[in-house]
Amino acid sequence: MSADTDAAPRDRPGTGRPSPGRLVWTALRVAGSVAALGTLYYVLPLDNSSTATALTMLLAGLAAFVGLVALQVRSILRSRYPGLRAVEALATSIPFFLLMFAGTYVTMAAQSPGSFERHLSHTDALYFTVTVFSTVGFGDITPKSAGARLVVTGQMLADLVVFGLALKVVVGAVRRGRQRRNSAESSPGGSEEG
């Protein structure tokens, strides 16, 4: 089952661009995925978890993130519209990545009050995670304990991997997907399905 077929609107044959219906369908899937992730983040009682549980969930989440990116690269390679599929992949993967770290910070701040200079709500932790990810770092929230500094350092290193390696892999998958699509369309009888 391909992410670009099945319930998605049909495109006109022979066009190189996705139809407006497919663009809307993709936007709705992204919005739904991000809304589901955000809702889950805000309703989970993260501030009642132990720090060990939070770190275990973070490590499991990072492994899941790697698996998610691998599945998305495969989907991009097989997609009729690899560029559109890559945008969708990044628009769902990055929020997942950020929310994993934000959840860890919520738990750390609740279980070890000295981890940050103040208590972090779900929104504070998400804000802090995004400032670290974007390398802005306003300084209004800072890690104070060695454990918190190690997790934030881990996020900074993971951010570099996401910026560098993951984006390179996704862009390479788009390029290979387009080459595959173009060679299939130019071969005799090479009309491709979905």
Q: 47-184, what's its fold? A: Helix Hairpins (1.10.287)
The string of DSSP letters for 97-132 reads HHHHHHHHHHHHHHHSTTSBSS---HHHHHHHHHHH
The string of pLDDT tens digits covering residues 131-158 is 999 988 888 999 999 999 999 999 999 9
Residue range 170-188: average pLDDT? 77
Q: Report phi then psi at 116, rounded to 5.
A: -125, 165
Biggest distance spanned by C-alpha atoms of the chain: 67
Per-chain mean pLDDT for the chain:
85
> Is residue 64 over pLDDT 90?
yes
pLDDT > 70: percent of the chain: 88
Residue range 56-60: average pLDDT? 91
Give domain limits for the chain. Answer: 47-184
> How many residues are given for the chain?
194
Distance (Å, rounded) from C-alpha 167 to C-alpha 162?
6
pLDDT of residue 154: 95
The string of pLDDT tens digits covering residues 83-125 is 888 889 888 999 999 999 999 999 999 999 899 999 999 999 9
